[in-house]
Amino acid sequence: MPDDAVLDPEERAELERLRAEVAELRSQAAAPPPLAEPPVAAAPRPRRQRWRSVVATLLIVIGCILAPISVVAVWTKNLVTDTDRYVATVQPLASDPAIQSAIADRITAEIFTHLDVTGITNQAVDALAERGLPPLVANQLSALSEPLASGVESFVRTEVGKVVASDAFANAWTTANRTAHQALVAALTGETREGVTIENDTVSINLGPFIQEVKQRLIDRGFELASRIPNVNPSFVLVQSDYIAQARGAFNLLNAVGFWLPIVALIFLAIGIYVAKGHRRALVGAGLGIAGGMVVLALALALFRTIYLNELPLGVLTRDAAAAFYDTLVRFLRLGLRTVLVFGLVIALAGFFTGRSVTAVRARAGVSKGIGWLRGGAEQAGFRTGPVGAWVYRYKKVLWIAVIAIAALVLVFWDQPTGRVIIGLTLAVLVALVIIEFLGRPPSPTEPELVESESAAAVDTSDVSPTASALISGSQAPDTVEAISRG
């Protein structure tokens, strides 16, 4: 018997309606796709957007150029205004073997300009000859004057070396440099200070106190001839260069802007990052630019070191002593540029891993997965955060900002931070953020909310028949359509 014979009028009407819907769906599926409309040319970006990128790039570039100049300006200003910093800078020179050898040679040479051992020996021989010393013996004694003078000079040089290597010399060196802590800077500014001699583009430190120390030591050792050494103030040349006078103008400018230049550089960078359309991309560029500026500064210091050693006048300093002096003088500058280099790299990495690149997204997903695994293991072990977890989850972003702000304040108020300090603060911030993410736990949904969500999900299909619901969802559309077409 045909299927239509057992259908009541309502079922027959429903069947006819469904057949009409199936026919319409088939006609839509068989119809050719509509012709694609010609692509609409993208509207040109407003000119102000392009200018925005140009301005942001220009500001960031200027800030990155000012960064290494700021480091040099701060270092220079510290040498000028901070006596303790200057003394701490030059204090290691007293223990450097090359500097000790150069100073010992200079002091020994100065002593023997006032102490003629050969002449004193010849005078003694002539006096003995006048008192009846046989001529043969007198001639033999005269022949011994040179070896005797050499032996005396060797003895004095040994004693001078002991003095220079002693703690007394280190203290005297510190005292002399504390009195004249602007020795090198005085040459650049054209000023002269006590204990410093500036002449013909040469910076020299007086060695008078050191010679008096050597003189007293020789007398105490029984070398009475040392009492003939007068009170003299010879100089030990630290720097001699034809470029000191030319560098005075640039130095004075750096000294004047030593405080404001870093602030100006930070302002340029901050405004550039704010103006840029992509803040994270601009942050990465600024960090890499700062790091690149520090690399350029390091290369410039190495180049200037080579120029300084190659133009060192003969007889002023040995090459080893000059190299030790230069490396000691700029070591705080190198420390500062390394610190800023690490800071720039940290900023660049922070901007990159908070961005939308595939690597950054996968890295964050991996960290989140690891934190979730740890949280799940802790919950299985009975650890529950309770209301604290819900509170941390609710104020997560506020806590993030607070952690970063605290780290920034610590860095600002840290006295002479180094690259290790920057890395340590960065690791501390990362650990704090991981702890916040671990503790933050979204509140569990209540049962009424679950029932309400399930009811809302069932509203769309409650007023249609199961067959129509299947057609709407599409999960069983092929089978249902085929069954209806057979019906």
Whether residue 286 is contained in a domain is answered as no
DSSP-assigned letter for residue 92: G
- Rounded CA-CA distance 248/222 in Å is 49
CB 24 within 8 A of CB 18: no
DSSP-assigned letter for residue 31: S
Whether residue 386 is contained in a domain is answered as yes
Q: Is 437 exposed, middle or buried (0-12, 13-18, 19+ CB in 10 A)?
A: buried
Instruction: Note the pLDDT of residue 61.
Output: 95
The Cα angle at residue 458 between residues 456 and 463, in degrees rounded to 5: 120
Q: Indicate the Cα dihedral angle 108, 109, 115, 116, nearest 10°.
A: 130
- Rounded CA-CA distance 56/198 in Å is 47
Q: What residues does 240 pair with on adjacent strands? A: 202
Residue for token digits 């004075």? Answer: 252
Secondary-structure breakdown of the chain: helix, strand, coil percentages, each rounded to the nearest 5: 75, 5, 20
Residue 432 sits in which domain range?
358-439
Q: Indicate the Cα dihedral angle 396, 399, 401, 406, nearest 10°.
A: -160
Whether residue 317 is contained in a domain is answered as no
Instruction: Note the pLDDT of residue 234.
Output: 74
Per-residue pLDDT of the chain (487 residues; tens, 9 = 90+): 445 556 666 677 777 777 777 777 777 776 665 555 555 555 555 555 678 889 999 999 999 999 999 998 888 888 766 778 878 888 888 888 888 888 888 888 777 777 666 666 666 655 555 665 566 655 655 655 566 667 777 777 887 788 788 777 788 778 777 766 655 555 555 555 555 555 555 556 677 777 777 777 778 777 777 777 777 777 776 665 555 555 666 666 766 777 788 899 999 999 999 999 888 899 999 999 999 999 999 999 999 999 888 877 666 677 888 888 889 889 989 999 999 999 999 999 998 988 888 888 898 888 888 888 888 888 788 887 788 888 988 888 899 999 999 998 998 888 778 888 999 999 999 999 999 988 887 766 543 443 344 444 444 444 444 444 443 344 444 444 444 444 4
Closest CA to 107 of 142, 159, 145, 61: 159
Residue type, 364: R
Instruction: Note the pLDDT of residue 325.
Output: 85
| 196-198 and 202-206 beta bridge pairing | antiparallel
DSSP-assigned letter for residue 242: T
Enter the tokens of residue 298.
């390091």
The kind and range of the H/E element at 240 are strand 235-240
Instruction: Note the pLDDT of residue 315.
Output: 62
The kind and range of the H/E element at 81 are helix 47-81
CB 312 within 8 A of CB 239: no
Closest CA to 187 of 236, 246, 106: 246
Instruction: Note the pLDDT of residue 156.
Output: 78
Q: What residues does 196 pair with on adjacent strands? A: 205
Instruction: Note the pLDDT of residue 346.
Output: 93
Sequence-separated (6 or more) residues with CB below 8 Å from residue 152 = 117, 225
Return the half-sphere exposure (C-beta side, CA atoms, 13 A cut-off) of residue 485. 11
Report CA torsion sign: 474, 476, 478, 481: negative
Closest CA to 396 of 330, 365, 339, 441: 441
Whether residue 348 is contained in a domain is answered as no
Whether residue 389 is contained in a domain is answered as yes
Residue for token digits 């072990």? Answer: 381
Return the half-sphere exposure (C-beta side, CA atoms, 13 A cut-off) of residue 293. 26
Instruction: Note the pLDDT of residue 452.
Output: 43
Enter the tokens of residue 74.
């701060």
The Cα angle at residue 78 between residues 76 and 82, in degrees rounded to 5: 140
Q: What residues does 320 pair with on adjacent strands? A: none
Whether residue 167 is contained in a domain is answered as no
- Rounded CA-CA distance 312/242 in Å is 10
Whether residue 60 is contained in a domain is answered as no
Three-state secondary-structure class, residue 174: helix
Q: Is 343 exposed, middle or buried (0-12, 13-18, 19+ CB in 10 A)?
A: buried
Whether residue 413 is contained in a domain is answered as yes
- Rounded CA-CA distance 151/30 in Å is 117
Closest CA to 70 of 327, 268, 244: 268
- Total domain count, the chain: 1
